[in-house]
Amino acid sequence: MGRAAHGSWRPVPTAVALTLAAVIYNNLVNLLPQNVHDVLYVPLNLAVGVVFGLVAWRWLRLGRAGLGLDRRALLPGLRWGTAAGLAIVAPLYIALLVPAGQGLLEDARVQDLGLPALVYAAAVRIPLGTALFEEWMFRGVLHAAWLRAAGARAAWAVPSAAFGLWHITPSLEALAANRPDASAGLALLFVAGSVLATALAGLLFTALRVRTGGIAAPVVAHGLINSLALVASYLAA
């Protein structure tokens, strides 16, 4: 009864379910105790990514190219992703040259981070557990699911909005670490700003995915931005 005439599940309800599941998953998993979250972060995220991919492949009949895995898009993706990532993160390193800029880059979560932990976060945790996982989820599975369900506008808008909502609890954690005395009004404003900023970043990553035909570009750009921003905060601290 739940299948359409062509043999796959109805695309709109499936796309909605995948989107809601993604947003709920990340906002709940970030509530885990920090020591548990740190251990499970990469393997759990990659496992969830596999599950979402299987749903897209099995029930939405989305092939490799539709999911952004076309090998012809790899080299253009590496070029565009590297250029975009470095261009976006460059102002952070310029800011390091100015005392006021250093203050803006400081993050209490980084101050006590040892060098081995920094290397692991920048070289493994962020590239695999954050950039690869999130771009696969949003610019791979959800982009393809909404493109199938409702067309190009929905494929741009819905995953990008969900990407913003995905960051509600991470933004609250960042605020708690850096401004534990923040009022409820400031917290609401900060979360709203974070959701808007990450939704706009989602549109940028979608543009890279559409321009190159694959998810390699947004994966590389996302990884460079997050990893190099972490290093910049470490240097500022």
pLDDT for 199 = 97
pLDDT in tens, 116-143: 999 999 999 999 999 999 999 999 999 9
CA distance 80 to 93: 20
Among the listed residues 220, 193, 228, 213, the one whose alpha carbon sits nearest the alpha carbon of residue 135 = 220
Q: What is the mean pLDDT of residues 58-63?
A: 86
pLDDT value for 157: 98
CB atoms under 10 Å from CB of 166, counted, come to 25
Q: Which amino acid is at 58?
A: R
pLDDT digits (tens, 9 = 90+) for 165-177: 999 999 998 888 8
pTM over the 0.85 mark: yes
Q: Place 100 in a pLDDT band, splitting at 50, 70 and 90.
A: confident
* Degrees to nearest 5, angle at CA 158 with 134 and 135: 15
Q: How far is CA 92 from the centre of its chain?
A: 19
- What proportion of the chain, given as a percentage, has pLDDT over 70? 96
Kindly list the distances between the CA atom of residue 151 and the CA atoms of 14, 15, 143, 146, 200, in Å, as whole numbers in the listed order: 14, 12, 10, 7, 19
Of 137, 116, 117, the residue nearest 38 (C-alpha): 117
pLDDT, mean over the chain: 92
Beta bridge partners of 9: 3
Secondary structure element (H or E) that encloses residue 3, with its range: none
At 4 the pLDDT is 44
